[in-house]
A and B are shown apart, each in its own frame.
Chain A
Amino acid sequence: AQKITQTQPGMFVQEKEAVTLDCTYDTSDPSYGLFWYKQPSSGEMIFLIYQGSYDQQNATEGRYSLNFQKARKSANLVISASQLGDSAMYFCAMREGRYGGSQGNLIFGKGTKLSVKP
């Protein structure tokens, strides 16, 4: 069963506008971590932001923020003031594993391709 769902295969946003990339997840583990990664056309995977299941506040990292709604099991990424360099694939991922804590493997969604228009 798919545990991370990204329903937007592709999205367009105008430069300098904000954009929200959707992610829903499914887990029965009370302790988990949610991550967003960016993959430009060059192929590398770049870590953007992390949200722990027990974190009370939504995570923020510069222009990136995570809209974490635990009851809805959603962890949407918000990018403010989009830039041309933000054009890339974006992956939502969840960490689970029998060791819980911080050492479990990641499960990825299928990704959203974001294109920023000048």
Chain B
Amino acid sequence: DSGVTQTPKHLITATGQRVTLRCSPRSGDLSVYWYQQSLDQGLQFLIQYYNGEERAKGNILERFSAQQFPDLHSELNLSSLELGDSALYFCASSDPGGPAGTQYFGPGTRLLVL
């Protein structure tokens, strides 16, 4: 158990719909990262938040948005869903101290868009 929690574990929805994925980082971790894992694209970085502020953006579509709340949990919002958005979405968190900054991953949310 990494200490990172994600809900829901599974999500089935239809094209055009909007969903929200939730992540709670490990206690004390200030950074939250979102990644998407799909068969064709592999594991891709979407966006990073650090202590409530957006820190870095990767291959995140304009239809997707995220935020990190004062209690440090984060939400990833996916809207106008398309079939190609079906993927495993991971949240990870890291400790701000120390040189490694190892990212610990949550169990993921498996999204299926029908």
Contact = CB atoms under 8 A, between A and B. Distances in A.
Interface of A: 33, 35, 37, 43-47, 50, 52, 91, 93, 95, 97-99, 101-111
A89 B106 CA distance: 17
Contacts of A44: 2, 105-108
Interface residues of B, number: 32
Contacts of B2: 44, 46-47
B42 A101 contact: no
Nearest to A42: B107
Nearest to A91: B43
A33 B98 CA distance: 12
28 contacts: A33-B99, A33-B101, A35-B102, A35-B103, A44-B105, A44-B106, A45-B92, A45-B105, A47-B102, A47-B105, A50-B102, A52-B100, A91-B43, A95-B101, A97-B56, A99-B55, A101-B99, A101-B101, A102-B95, A102-B98, A103-B94, A103-B101, A104-B56, A104-B101, A105-B45, A106-B92, A108-B42, A111-B42
A2 to B, nearest CB: 10
Nearest to A109: B42
Contact of B45 (A47, A102, A106): A106
A99 B51 CA distance: 15
Nearest to A97: B56
Contacts, number: 73
A52 B56 contact: no
Mostly, the B contact residues are strand
Most buried by A among B48, B97, B98: B48
